[in-house]
Amino acid sequence: MTAPDPSAAFTPTPIAFDPADPTERRLAFLMEADRLKEIERAGRVAGGRRENSAEHSWHLALYALALGSEAAEGASVDRVIRMLLIHDLVEIDAGDTPFHGEKRADLDAIEDAAAARIFGLLPAAEAGEMLALWREFEAAETPDARFAKALDRMQPVMLNLATGGGTWPDFRVSEQQVLDRCGPPIARGAPGLWPRIRDRIRAYFAARGA
């Protein structure tokens, strides 16, 4: 006997929130953030299935917690964790753009509008703080943002290595392309980690005669 599909009879039930109440606005933001769980990424988790963007954000926050001692001087691990937890919320509107895929010409504008909408659900002061933190991550100019970007490049590499190359064969990515695209941000934000990652990338491609 086939088990019933629980999603077949599911009907979403919208929850109304009072925009005049700060706590209600925070709850509205949190419910909107739940939609990030529905955004499927191109990459895979170590078990083989596709990763979603919420899982990616959680995993990066854990990377920052576990690898904080590897950050370049001046980075605040607590602040980096906050940055990583919100960095991909814009994908609720913009969707995932594979790192080795082709980037849409209007993606920056779409993501900026998404950030304004999603963070704008919060009370004004908190919305401004989170929007500024997201923009800091995107600019990758501060020690915190550089470390966050380093981890954002490192985690997919580790998962690709754990899944037989992951998306690299799908996008026909060469060893040099991986090194060129991932190396500089990782080396800049977490210089001690890059040699470990670089050597694993080289070993993967060497084993396949690439």
pLDDT tens across 22-39, in order? Answer: 999 999 999 999 999 999
pLDDT reported for residue 6: 61
- Reduced to 3 states (helix: H, G, I; strand: E, B; else coil), residue 83 is helix
**Cα gap 87→89, rounded to integer Å:** 6
User: What was the pLDDT predicted at 200?
Assistant: 98
Beta bridge partners of 52: 40
- pLDDT in the model for residue 4: 65
In the DSSP assignment, the letter for residue 140 is T
Per residue in 10-23, pLDDT (tens digit) is 788 889 999 999 99
Degrees, nearest 5: CA angle 160-165-167? 75
**pLDDT tens readout for residues 89-107:** 999 999 998 887 777 889 9
Torsion of CA 106, 126, 55, 93, to 10 degrees: -30
pLDDT at 97: 87
pLDDT at 103: 78
The CATH number fitting domain 22-207, selected from 1.10.3720.10, 3.40.50.2300, 1.20.1630.10, 1.10.3210.10: 1.10.3210.10
Give the residue extent of every domain in the chain.
Answer: 22-207
**Structure confidence at residue 15 (pLDDT):** 95
Signed CA dihedral, 114, 55, 35, 105: sign only: positive
pLDDT per 10-residue tile (average), the chain, 210 residues: 66 92 98 98 94 98 98 97 98 90 86 98 98 98 98 98 94 95 97 98 91
Nearest 10 degrees: Cα torsion 63, 65, 68, 70: -30
